[in-house]
Amino acid sequence: MKKIVIASNNAGKIAEFKALFEPLGIETLSLKEAGIISDPEETGLTFIENALIKARNAAKISGLPALADDSGLVVPHLNGEPGIYSARYSEEATDSANNAKLLQKMSNFQDQERAAYFKAVLVLVRDETDPVPLIAEGEAHGFITKEILGSGGFGYDPLFYFPDKSQTFGELSSEEKNQISHRAIALQKLSTKLNTL
């Protein structure tokens, strides 16, 4: 593998992936850089299924190996919500509306009921029909605050309190977050697997 497509249009994610693959001598292309439009319907019921859908679709269109991620916030006391629907949790499907809905649903939750974790799943396929895709998962555990704290990051970051840093992901610098996040953990695991290929 000398070149792979990153099945994402998220600039932050693409930058993280480029930094991971550069030392391995693998060139990475975003969907835009590869000149392809890939936005398949995420019909899976798990993060892994949705990441696989995105990776296989990008590999099919580009003819190159493809990497996709699917990630989201899981609140056990809400039966796993918002989960795979994290980005489209509210009707408006915006960060502010999603955060407002989550705060409203958790308004009566106390202490351990507010426990939550971010989950990231990375899937790398060598081609569209790859029977043994590389899969790496990462989690970051914390609690949902009762109000927005910080303006950094995206999604639920300003509500996700990370005990090890005594701050929300929204209060951390992007450098700090990228060292300890669920995606960083998954990337590290994927890097280890790539080194064994």
The response to whether 18 counts as a known ligand-binding position is no
154 is in an annotated binding site: yes
DSSP state of 82: B
Residue 91 known to bind ligand: no
Residue 12 annotated as binding site: yes
Residue 39 annotated as catalytic? no
Any bridge partners for residue 29, and if so which?
5
Answer yes or no: is 156 a known binding residue. yes
Candidate list 39, 69, 70, 130, residue with the active-site label: 70
C-beta separation of 193 from 136 below 8 A: yes
Residue with tokens 């993280």: 16
Is 169 annotated as a binding-site member?
Answer: no
- The answer to the question of whether 181 is labelled as a binding residue is no
Q: H helices within 24-145, ranges in order?
A: 47-62, 95-105
How far apart (Å, rounded) are the C-alpha atoms in residues 17 and 99? 26
Contact (CB, 8 A) for 29 and 3: yes
Cα atoms in the 13 Å half-sphere on the side-chain side of 117: 13
Using DSSP's 3-state secondary structure scheme, residue 1 falls into coil
Q: Are 167 and 187 in contact (CB under 8 A)?
A: no
> Contact, 97 vs 103, CB < 8 A?
no
Confirm or deny that 127 is annotated as ligand binding: no
Is 3 annotated in a binding site? The answer is: no
Query: Does the annotation place 99 within a ligand binding site?
Result: no
Binding-site positions for Mg(2+) read: 41, 70
- Residues with a catalytic annotation lie at 70
Binding-site positions read: 8-13, 41, 70-71, 154-157, 177, 182-183
Binding-site positions for substrate read: 8-13, 71, 154-157, 177, 182-183
